[in-house]
Amino acid sequence: MDALENLEVWKRSCRLSVELYQALSDCKDFGFRDQVTRSALSVPSNIAEGYERDSTREFSRFLKIAKGSCGELRTQLYIGCEAGFINAASGTQFIREATEIARMIQGLIKRCRTMLDDLE
């Protein structure tokens, strides 16, 4: 498997996290801002933690957690758009990227599952 820094899904989720921190830097609802940035930060962090465990089974487990954080993030982005905290056009783009990242994570989960099946 590639080095963590070469995983496209990790790079994209890091980039999305940074973009959300920047986009919400002026948001006055600190609770909302904190929740969104924490769920966004959770995605690449869980990918990294699972990767560094050196176990396909553990990597898969942490990928599932990261995928769950993507769902949490998308929900918060939809709410943020409706509540007026996030510009609709930006929100749509963020949601699209979080959805694509979740698909990429699902692909890695399937790859891990195949590797584990081959070992049994």
Residues 6+ apart with CB under 8 A from 76: 32, 35, 36, 39
Report the 10 Å Cβ neighbour count for 52: 12
User: For the segment 36-47, what is each residue's pLDDT rounded down to a tens digit?
Assistant: 999 999 999 999
- What distance in Å separates the CA atoms of residue 104 and residue 119, rounded to the nearest whole number? 23
In the CATH scheme, what architecture does the domain 4-119 have? Up-down Bundle (1.20)
Q: Which two tokens stand for residue 25?
A: 């830097």
User: For the segment 45-96, what is each residue's pLDDT rounded down to a tens digit?
Assistant: 999 999 999 899 999 999 999 999 999 999 999 999 999 999 999 999 999 9
Note if the pTM is more than 0.85: yes
Q: Which two tokens stand for residue 83?
A: 């509540």
In angstroms, the first-to-last Cα distance of the chain is: 19
